[in-house]
Structure 1
Amino acid sequence: EDLPHVDAATNPIAQSLHYIEDANASERNPVTKTELPGSEQFCHNCSFIQADSGAWRPCTLYPGYTVSEDGWCLSWAHKTA
């Protein structure tokens, strides 16, 4: 099943968490969380992502939607092995 992409302009959860589709094109949280600085925080290395591959993946924070693997939001948490 193909889920729609989350739209930061219209999705209230995405707005409240300051989700951005391309983290490299925007200023992210400058605070270092765990061992990764803000410049290395992406959806693809976040613990909330629900798939190991794909440009767009389901995320537990955005039920019924997918997020960009290169995205970011305020709830980012480092995915550990």
Structure 2
Amino acid sequence: MTSELKAETKFPESLPEGQNPVSESDPTAKALGFHQDAKHTDFNLYPERKEKSAKNQVCKHCAQFSKLNENWGKCNIISAGVVSSRGWCSAWSQKS
């Protein structure tokens, strides 16, 4: 098992009961460059994520995110589980 895969399966925050985190290797998640932690974004593919203005671009501030608890929520686009409130993908859009 690679360290990347191990990191993906370890979540210090408690998951909502009966829920599983979206796998970063899920086809939709992968196509959108999704990571459960926005710090792991591929900056070569998404250089705009390095900009200071992108600092708050995380799932909890996205229009597609519905909060389940402080650390987890559901995404309207990546529906294969729950996403971390500190995650990011290229479909991110500011909540109004």
When normalised by structure 1's length, the TM-score is 0.76
Q: What is residue 48 of structure 2 aligned with on the other side? A: 31
Measure how far apart 1:31 and its partner are: 3.4
Q: Name structure 2 gaps, 5 residues minimum.
A: 1-16
Measure how far apart 1:27 and its partner are: 4.7
Measure how far apart 1:64 and its partner are: 4.2
Give 1:2-81 correspondences, 5 Å limit: 2-9=18-25, 11-27=26-42, 29-31=46-48, 37-51=53-67, 53-80=69-96
Query: For residues 15 and 23 of structure 1, what CA distance do their matches in structure 2 show?
Result: 14
> Which is higher, the Rg of structure 1 or of structure 2?
2
Show structure 1 runs of 4+ deviating over 6 A: none
Query: For residues 94 and 78 of structure 2, what CA distance do their matches in structure 1 show?
Result: 17
The structure with more helix, counted as a fraction of residues:
2
Q: Which moved more, 1:71-80 or 1:47-56?
A: 47-56
Q: What is residue 5 of structure 2 aligned with on the other side? A: none
Query: For residues 55 and 42 of structure 2, what CA distance do their matches in structure 1 show?
Result: 9
For the 8 Å contact 1:22–1:71, the answer to whether it is kept is yes
DSSP 3-state at the match of 2:28: helix
State percent identity of aligned pairs: 26
Choose between structure 1 and 2 for higher RCO, CA contacts under 8 A separated by at least 6 residues: 1
